[in-house]
């Protein structure tokens, strides 16, 4: 499974390199009034919030590269510190345990809301993913670490899912005769939601794994 995940990661990174090489060879358009251009193109973007329109449609490769940076950071940490094995229910105080029971459903619900709200107001995959990761870290601190074995076995598929979906959409737009991640207006809203949904999951998994990995590194310091 690990070899398959590593091979899939290598293929994704190679595909990203090809896409970026193709992008930098394209001619650069002359300077324009960017805010006015964005405002005039919102109807075709699939969303009504200008920041989401830019990051997920007009300049989607920016967000794609941000996900790649997280993936590379995770690869670096994992090379130095594997995920710790689950230890069962840790002896934690009643206050933390009860706080986790109250906050975990709320954190997950707000994370999903931030994902959905990103189309019309501030929010999106990174904000929701960070909050979902906070829920996972809170669960760990409260001794609920039984999901660690699943995270260990599915870490790379889950962490790379956001990049994989992004690249699949990029390949689809190019094969359909469009531009790199220039989403078709008829399906832009749906594609943005799909991209952000998978990105949210990958961001949350990556941040939890980074939290665990950096903690293991600190424990190894003399």
Tens of pLDDT, residues 93-126: 677 788 888 899 999 999 999 999 988 888 889 9
Closest CA to 71 of 218, 205, 212, 170: 205
* Mean model confidence pLDDT for the chain: 80
Which phi-psi region, left, alpha or beta, contains residue 46 (left: φ > 0; alpha: ψ -120 to 50)? left
198-to-69, 77, 146 alpha-carbon distances in Å: 16, 22, 23
State yes or no: pLDDT of 165 exceeds 90: yes
In Å, how far from its chain's centre is CA 64? Answer: 9
Helices (H), the chain: 2-24, 34-41, 50-53, 60-80, 94-117, 125-141, 148-159, 161-175, 188-220
Distance CA 105, CA 71 (A): 27
194 band by pLDDT with thresholds 50, 70 and 90:
very high
Which has more pLDDT, 138 or 5? 138
Q: Which residues of 39-67 are buried (b: 16+ CB within 10 A; e: fewer)?
A: eeebeebbbebeebbbbbbbebbebbebb
Distance CA 200, CA 210 (A): 15
Which of 41-45, 61-65, 162-166, 203-207 is predicted least confidently?
A: 41-45
Q: Which residues of 2-15 are buried (b: 16+ CB within 10 A; e: fewer)?
A: eeebeeebeebbeb
State mean pLDDT over 43-54: 84
Tens of pLDDT, residues 204-213: 999 998 888 7
Q: Would you call 111 helix, strand, or coil by DSSP?
A: helix
């Amino acid at each position: 499974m690990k070899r398959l995940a590593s091979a899939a990661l290598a293929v994704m990174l190679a595909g990203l390199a090809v896409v970026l090489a193709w992008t930098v060879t394209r001619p650069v358009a002359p300077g324009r009034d960017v805010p006015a251009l964005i405002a005039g193109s919102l109807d075709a973007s699939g969303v009504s919030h200008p920041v989401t329109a830019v990051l997920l449609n007009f300049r989607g490769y920016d967000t794609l590269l941000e996900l790649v940076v997280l993936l590379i950071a995770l690869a670096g940490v994992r090379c130095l510190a594997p995920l710790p094995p689950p230890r069962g229910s840790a002896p934690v105080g009643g206050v933390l345990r009860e706080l986790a029971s109250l906050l975990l459903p709320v954190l997950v619900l707000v994370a999903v809301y931030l994902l959905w709200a990103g189309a019309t107001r501030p929010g999106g995959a990174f904000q929701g993913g960070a909050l979902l990761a906070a829920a996972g870290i809170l669960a760990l601190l409260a001794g609920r670490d039984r999901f660690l074995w699943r995270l260990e076995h599915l870490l790379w598929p889950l962490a790379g899912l956001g990049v994989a979906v992004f690249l699949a959409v990029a390949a689809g737009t190019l094969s359909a005769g469009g531009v790199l991640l220039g989403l078709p207006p008829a399906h832009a809203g749906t594609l943005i939601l799909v991209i952000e949904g998978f990105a949210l999951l990958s961001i949350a998994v990556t941040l939890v794994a980074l939290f665990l990995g950096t903690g293991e590194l600190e424990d190894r310091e003399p």
